[in-house]
Amino acid sequence: MGLETEPLFQAWSYFRRRKFRQCSELCSQLLEGAPGEQENDTGYSAFQAAWSLKTRALTEMVYVDEIEIDQEGIAEMMLDENAIAQVARPGTSLKLPGTSQGGGPSPAVRPITQSGRPITGFVRPSTQSGRPSTMEQAIKTPRTALTARPISSASGRYVRLGTASMITNPDGPFINVSRLNLSKYAQKPELAKALFEYIFHHENDVKNVYLRLDQPVTALNLFKQGLERFPGEVTLICGIARIYEEMNDISSAAEYYKEVLKQDNTHVEAIACIGSNRFYSDQPEIALRFYRRLLQMGVYNYQLFNNLGLCCFYAQQYDMTLTSFERALFLAENEEERADVWYNLGHVAVGIGDLNLAYQCFKLTLVNNNDYAEAYNNLAVLEMQKGHIEQARALLQTASYLAPHMYEPHFNFAILSEKVGDFQRSYMAAQKSEEAFPGHIDTQQLIKQLKERFAML
């Protein structure tokens, strides 16, 4: 005869493993019984604990981070009449790239977005592309995590429409909000927070207002004031980590994400961001542990297996590399996702020295996503090695047009032009490379050589 687990503890175990459906069903069974007596140490009964746990489970099933999903539309970005400082002080602006006080990773190690921020470990719409400078750039840039289309004024704010109705009880809603005595629950903080989040995310009765002020330092101070009032609150600590990440202060962001995990070791965003930071810090073995943790928690998507494949390859665990990428291709839901997998497979092929396989993988990347600038750049390098100068030049020009924030296409074009004797184009491309990555030593040396050649003419 096997050991029987206490039902409330079993429900809590389901919640920690992100099996919210099973948790909600088990709590419903507990709530069908009579309310129990209060516990001496907590002052709350098992009935109240089951009620609170079910409320949190229902909330997590439809949870959407309102701060991140409320994205600015094209009209709000391009027609914004609010004036901001064009030359912000270092570390005081999120809209202007390059204002970090240090601590940001090098573009040579970690890819960056067109706004100048490093790619994070967790997809958030507001950090994917930044503020476009032209209407053309705004239209062709993906703005949300769920679609490649740029959002209009409201398309990013109601992505969960119709999902809450799918998990309501057949006998009616779990909580009748209109009949609640809110003052009673306000006196019990443990129940009040769970109830508020349920109403906010599940019933959608609360409307929120966003203030888009480019004042990250003020926001940090407000978050820290909140931590003084509610120490250990995960939402506040995570908000601080996000701001530091957007300010390119990756080291501070990582420290706050660690604090998040101390309070909630199942927090997906914190685990993913720390794993990404470890990977780009040349620690793929440690990153692999974090991504495996996500897999144990029930996260099962192409992004996770894509990252697992890269970590396995750079950690020299070759037996799991191709298996992970095969699973990622199987789970990819659209062409953009498949393009990411083929692109990484191309890097694996380059790493093992199979340039023909790498060429085919980068070609398949462009078949799935014709705007993949990194694939154009890598194909150009392979064409240069084959001696196909004109093809390489055309690919590099395409890459630099699609991703002007990348320094690699500009630098490669400068090298190619210098080899064929076109020093003027080489110098112009090298200047663009230096503008995109001022600390690139090879670009600086190339510009110095070109200036010496010009002086000799």
Instruction: Classify 98 in phi/psi space as left (phi over 0), alpha (psi -120 to 50) or beta.
Output: left
CA 267-270-274 angle, to 5 degrees, is 140
Report whether 381 contacts 92 (CB < 8 A): no
Q: Which of 263-297 are b and which e, b meaning 16 or more Cβ less than 10 Å from the residue's Cβ? A: eeebbbbbbbbbbbbbbbbebbeebbebbebbeeb
Instruction: Classify 282 in phi/psi space as left (phi over 0), alpha (psi -120 to 50) or beta.
Output: left
From first to last of the 457 residues of the chain, give the pLDDT tens digit: 344 568 888 888 888 888 888 898 888 888 887 565 555 455 567 788 888 888 888 878 766 555 554 555 555 555 555 544 555 566 666 665 554 445 566 777 777 766 556 676 666 555 544 445 555 555 455 444 444 433 333 333 333 333 333 333 545 566 666 666 667 766 777 677 777 666 655 554 443 433 345 677 788 888 888 889 888 888 889 888 988 888 888 899 999 999 999 999 989 999 999 999 999 999 999 999 999 999 998 889 999 999 999 999 999 998 899 999 999 999 999 999 999 999 999 999 999 999 999 999 999 999 999 999 999 999 999 999 999 999 999 999 999 999 998 999 999 999 999 999 999 999 999 999 999 999 899 999 999 999 999 888 7
Selection from 404, 417, 348 nearest residue 376 by Cα: 404
Q: Which pLDDT score is estimated for 204?
A: 46
Q: What pTM does this model have?
A: 0.70
Q: Which pLDDT score is estimated for 17?
A: 83
Report whether 424 contacts 401 (CB < 8 A): no
Q: Give the integer Cα–Cα distance in Å for 27 and 220.
A: 37
179-184, long-range: CB < 8 A, 24+ apart: none
Q: Which pLDDT score is estimated for 440?
A: 92
Q: Which pLDDT score is estimated for 154?
A: 35
Q: Which pLDDT score is estimated for 45?
A: 75
Q: Which pLDDT score is estimated for 149?
A: 39
Q: Which pLDDT score is estimated for 61?
A: 77
Instruction: Classify 398 in phi/psi space as left (phi over 0), alpha (psi -120 to 50) or beta.
Output: alpha
CA quadruple 47, 49, 52, 53: dihedral sign: negative
